């Protein structure tokens, strides 16, 4: 993963209390690769295995930037998932240099009109995004209690 993304994830995890990881990934089928990446930051901890019953949603690059901006700047319990322009620009910039073959996944769409998600944790709310290509991947996740 690119240095800009790594710096962004590290800084935002420290500020927002999130978990993150970036690095090389093994060649595995999608669900196994998602589970492997999530395990790098200690997930899943939810009582229902999200990788067995309802896998992460594949999302577009722009949707990934939106989810990343929500995860890094919005209170999941008390705010609508509508990040400000600066948060969106920062998230877009962070993932801009990932390769064109990078696929993105999230546990929900996190839009004002549709806030359904599949938890990876036992927290009241959790939100995150992961991305990977054939060689490398990343994940950023936050939890929040109300």
pLDDT in tens, 22-53: 999 999 998 899 999 999 999 988 777 777 76
Its pTM stands at: 0.93
Q: What is the per-residue pLDDT for 80?
A: 87
Please say if the pLDDT value at position 1 is more than 70: no
3-state secondary structure of 120: coil
What average pLDDT is seen over the chain?
Answer: 90
Which helix or strand (DSSP H or E) is residue 130 part of?
strand 125-132
| Residue 96 to residue 30: CA distance in whole angstroms | 22
Sign of CA dihedral 21, 24, 29, 32: negative
48-85 b/e (C-beta count within 10 Å ≥ 16 → b): eebbeeeebbebebebbbbbbbbbbbbebeeeebebee
pLDDT in tens, 86-120: 999 999 999 998 988 999 999 887 877 767 788 88
Kindly state the greatest CA–CA separation across the chain: 39
Residue ranges of domains in the chain = 3-144
User: Which of 69, 89, 92, 91 is closest to 81 using CA atoms?
Assistant: 69
């Amino acid at each position: 993963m690119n240095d800009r993304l790594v710096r962004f994830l590290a800084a935002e995890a420290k500020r927002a209390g999130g978990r993150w990881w970036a690095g090389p990934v093994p060649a595995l089928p999608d669900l196994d690769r998602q589970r492997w990446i999530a395990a790098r930051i200690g997930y899943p901890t939810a009582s229902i295995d999200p990788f067995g019953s309802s896998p992460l949603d594949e999302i577009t690059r722009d949707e990934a930037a939106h989810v990343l901006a929500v995860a890094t700047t919005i209170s999941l319990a008390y705010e609508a998932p509508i990040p400000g322009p600066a948060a969106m620009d920062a998230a877009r910039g962070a993932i801009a240099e990932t390769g064109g073959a990078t696929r993105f996944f999230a546990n929900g769409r996190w839009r004002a009109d549709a806030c359904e998600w599949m938890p990876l944790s036992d927290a009241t709310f959790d939100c995150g995004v992961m991305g990977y290509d054939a060689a490398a991947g990343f994940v950023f996740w936050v939890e929040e209690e109300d």
